[in-house]
Amino acid sequence: MTESEEAWEDALLAIRVAATARHRIGGIHVRARSGPARDAWVERFRETLPDIPVLRFSPDIDEGRLLGDLDLSRTLAEGRPILTEGLLSRANGGAIMLAMAERAEPTLAGILAGAMDTGSITPATGTLPARFLLIALDEGADETETLPLALDDRLGLRVDLAAVSWRIAAGEAVVPGPGAVDPDAVAISDAMLAALAGAAMQAGWPSMRPALWLSMVARIVAALDGRHEVAPDHATTAIRLVFGPVAIAEESEEPAESRPDETPPDPSDTPPPPPEGDPSDPHDTEDPDPIELDSDMLQDMMVAAEAARTMQLPILLPARAAGADARGSGKAGAKKDRARRGRPVGFTPTPPYPGARPHILATLRAAAPWQKLRAMENGGKPRSFPSKPGLDIRKSDFRYTRLRDRSETTVIFAVDASGSTALARLGEAKGAVEMLLAECYIRRDSVAVIAFRGTEADVLLEPTRSLVRAKRALGRLPGGGPTPLAGAMAKALEIATRVLRDGSTPLLVMMTDGNGNIALDGTADRAQSREDVAALSRHIAVQPMQKVMIDISARPRESARAFAAGLRADYVALPRADAGSVSRLVSSYMGGR
């Protein structure tokens, strides 16, 4: 079976597991670009669960529609408040498809997460049940663009359709319905639970949820398999479904080999065999033999988990731990509430800037409840709703949209940690980053750090506002070796593009002497390095961001100045760069915009 086919089989199995567990599994995190493979998957999902309501919306939905809101026209027509039913409670017993889930704001994530935790929502009228399966369609372009951690953690299944070709997805494969399987009847041994808990722990997530998902998915997979006890291959399948299909390569053969020979490998090698009564299945007896979990199997599972960890670390962890939460989260910060552009964040009775136009609907809504009172004030009987046209709207009713400009800055430090820079400089740069972060985490500004030395540049710190993470990442800053300047510029460009895409403003601070000697491909080729640097300089120069080059060489040279000019960066020579002056300099750039 090709990788593509395996990924598709897993994706279909995830549907069956979700169809069995319903809201108890949280939902499915689907990583795929919009395309035929994803369409086919969604189609299969709906075929498997034809009878449930499936609501689809995108992350820009407002809270009123999610939780229920005043229905203005009907309220005015009937003269009593009519509330619309929120989408979350309409989805009760069904599923929600969140399109473009990677754009979800923390507030939306928080609302969804709260509803998933309690199985209910509490709008003004009282608690309503809201048990749903959340299908997050994540179209993130790279690993750092993904859905908020609050949601990711609550979704028990993970499907990645990147490897699935449309030819396979378009195949005739029909997903058998969940049938009458009862995962609660499936036993799971303590040793197996321990192995699953260990696997979850080794995968590096601090959360307890993956371990819970693993045990649930393993039992469901076993139930779908028609067994009454979780066997090692069910557990490895569960690891694949919960942590994503990355670990497939290692595992696809292992369980078959390491299994005791009483269970012959399934000849067709199809992960989801028919749920009940497979005639070729020796376990299809009243009382199946208890499955012995020997140390070898445990070892295999640990190896699989370890493989999942090592293979996923570079791929999944930054996405879960760094990019996702660094982006658009965190609350501290002076917002520009008087912004003329940006994202609407609510209504205000005072005009945010002179000449602002009132928001009609919000104004009407503010005026609506007063109509009867005002009619009475105006002498005589309350006029009957809504026979007499015309609303009594007063100045105090006017509502204006409050916009929030995503005006945060992300400072990208590219720090030369090579041998040509004294090691002390590195300490200063590190100090400057920490000082900046400590100073300005109130200001909604983020900091990213790239260090370059040896053959390549490392992103030590993805854009973050967290002091905790900064400290941890900076602790690992090594020094010495040649100077891969081009590599650092490439990384800086990559982060800057991402920052721009998220709507905030990057500020690039290069701390170097401007002399690279390692080319982009990691070879020690001075000429190639110069070419790479020149090419990247042209790219960076046209980016709509501020650039500062801090020359930290002991004797500032003309070449450094030329490098800064190529970048269209401001050139500052700070031969005795100390943490304080660097921090002050960068602060002046951030404040001066």
Partner 1 sequence: MAPPFPFSAIVGQTEMREALLMAAVEPTLGGVLVFGHRGTGKSTAVRALAGLLPKIETLAGCRFNCDPDRPDAACDPCRAKIEAGKPARRKIDTPVIDLPLGASEDRVVGALDLEKALVSGEKAFEPGLLAAANRGFLYIDEANLLEDHLVDLLLDVAASGVNVVEREGLSVRHAARFVLVGSGNPEEGELRPQLLDRFGLSVEIGSPDTIADRVEVIKRRNAYDRDPEGFCKTYGAREGKVRRRIARAKAAIGRIEASDDVLGLAAELCLSLGVDGLRGELTLIRAARARAALDDDAEVTREHLLAVAPSALRHRLRRDPLDEAGSTARIDRAIAALAA
Residues from 115 through 134 that contact partner 1 (CB under 8 A): 117-122, 124, 127, 129
Q: Vertex 47, ends 46 and 52: CA angle to 5°? A: 50
Please identify which residue in 77, 162, 187, 208 interacts with partner 1, judged by CB under 8 A.
Answer: 208
Count how many residues are written for the chain. Answer: 593
Asked if 506 and 496 count as a contact pair (C-beta separation under 8 A), the reply is: yes
Give kind and range of the element (H or E) at residue 439: helix 423-440
Per-residue burial over 365-391, b = 16 or more CB atoms within 10 Å of its CB, e = otherwise: bbbbebbeebbeeeeeeebebeeeeee
Residue 331 binding partner 1, by CB under 8 A: yes
510's tokens: 């290069």
Alpha-carbon 369 to chain mean position? 41
Three-state DSSP string of 68-94: CCECHHHHHHHCCCCECCCHHHHCCCE
Provide the minimum distance between the beta carbon of 70 and partner 1 in the complex, in angstroms, as a whole number: 7
Beta carbon of residue 276, minimum distance to partner 1 (angstroms, whole number):
21
Of 78 and 269, CB closest to partner 1 = 78
Contacting residue, 37, 42, 130, 150, with partner 1 by CB under 8 A: 150
**Cβ of residue 266: shortest distance to partner 1, in angstroms?**
27
Q: Which stretch binds partner 1 (CB under 8 A): 72-80, 253-261, 280-288, 448-456?
A: 72-80
Give least dist CB 3 to partner 1, A.
Answer: 30
CB of 114 to partner 1, least distance (A): 5
Q: How many whole angstroms separate alpha carbon 568 and alpha carbon 548?
A: 9
Cβ nearer to partner 1, comparing 129 with 419: 129
In the complex, least distance from residue 153 CB atom to partner 1, rounded to whole angstroms? 4
Q: Residues 59, 68, 106, 487: which binds partner 1 (CB under 8 A)? A: 106
Residue in 51, 80, 285, 387 binding partner 1, rule: CB under 8 A: 80
What residue has token string 């650092």? 488
Smallest distance from the beta carbon of 505 to partner 1, in angstroms?
A: 18
Q: Which residue has the tokens 């050139």?
A: 571
Are 30 and 138 a contacting pair, CB within 8 Å?
yes
User: What CA dihedral angle connects 521, 524, 526 and 527, to 10 degrees?
Assistant: -50
Q: Which of residues 409-468 bind partner 1 (CB under 8 A)?
A: 431, 434-435, 437-438, 441-442, 465-468
Helix (H) or strand (E) segment spanning residue 547? strand 546-551
Candidates 3, 63, 278, 570: give the one binding partner 1 (CB under 8 A): 63
Asked if 578 touches partner 1 (CB under 8 A), the answer is: no
CB of 216 to partner 1, least distance (A): 7
Among 194, 249, 423, 565, binds partner 1 (CB under 8 A): 194
Cβ closest to partner 1, residue 414 vs residue 437? 437
Rounded Cα gap, residues 507 and 289, in angstroms: 64
Q: Is position 305 an interface residue for partner 1 (rule: CB under 8 A)?
A: no
d(CA 143, CA 132): 27
E strands, 354-396, in order: none
Q: Which of 77, 174, 315, 376 touches partner 1 by CB under 8 A?
A: 376
Residue 581 sits in the site that holds partner 1 (CB under 8 A)? no
Closest alpha carbon to 1 in 310, 265, 205, 340: 265
For the CB of residue 219, give the shortest distance to partner 1 in the complex, in Å: 8
d(CA 413, CA 488): 10
| Cα 103 to chain centroid, rounded | 8
> DSSP string spanning 265-300?
PPTT--SS--SS--TT-TT-SSSPPPPP--HHHHHH
From CA 297, how far away is CA 216, in angstroms rounded?
Answer: 20
Distance, CA of 9 to chain centre:
24
* Residue with Cβ nearer partner 1 (26 or 178): 26
For residue 283, give the amino acid letter.
Answer: H
DSSP-derived secondary structure letter, 58: -
395 binds partner 1 (CB under 8 A): no
CB nearer to partner 1: give 150 or 545: 150
Exposure of 247 by Cβ count < 10 A (0-12 exposed, 13-18 middle, 19+ buried)?
Answer: buried
Task: Scan residues 509-568 and list those touching partner 1 (CB under 8 A).
Answer: none
| Rounded least distance, CB 500 to partner 1, Å | 21
Say whether residue 249 binds partner 1 (CB under 8 A).
no
**Candidate segments 48-56, 76-84, 165-173, 307-315, binder of partner 1 by CB under 8 A:** 76-84
Among 102, 160, 250, 325, which residue interacts with partner 1 (rule: CB under 8 A)?
325
Among 165, 263, 329, 581, binds partner 1 (CB under 8 A): 329
Asked whether position 110 contacts partner 1 by CB under 8 A, the answer is: yes
Q: Does 216 bind partner 1 (CB under 8 A)?
A: yes
Q: Which is nearer to partner 1, 148 or 484 (CB)?
A: 148
The reply to whether omega before 386 is within 30° of 0 (cis) is yes
**Cβ neighbours of residue 309 under 8 Å, at least 6 residues apart?**
202, 203, 204
Q: Are 251 and 312 within 8 A, CB to CB?
A: no
**Residue 329 Cβ vs partner 1, minimum distance, rounded to whole Å:** 5
Q: Should residue 107 be labelled a site residue for partner 1 when binding is judged by CB under 8 A?
A: yes
Q: Does 572 participate in binding partner 1 (rule CB under 8 A)?
A: no
> What residues from 470 to 489 belong to the interface with partner 1 (CB under 8 A)?
471, 475
Residue nearer to partner 1 on the CB measure, 8 or 213: 213
Residues 332-361 interacting with partner 1 (rule: CB under 8 A): 332-333, 335, 345-346
Residue 396 or 523 with smaller CB distance to partner 1: 396
Q: How far apart are CA 360 and CA 362, in angstroms?
A: 6
Choose one: 77-85, 289-297, 477-485, 536-544; the region binding partner 1 (CB under 8 A): 77-85
Number of residues in contact with partner 1 under rule CB under 8 A: 81
**213 SS3 class:** helix
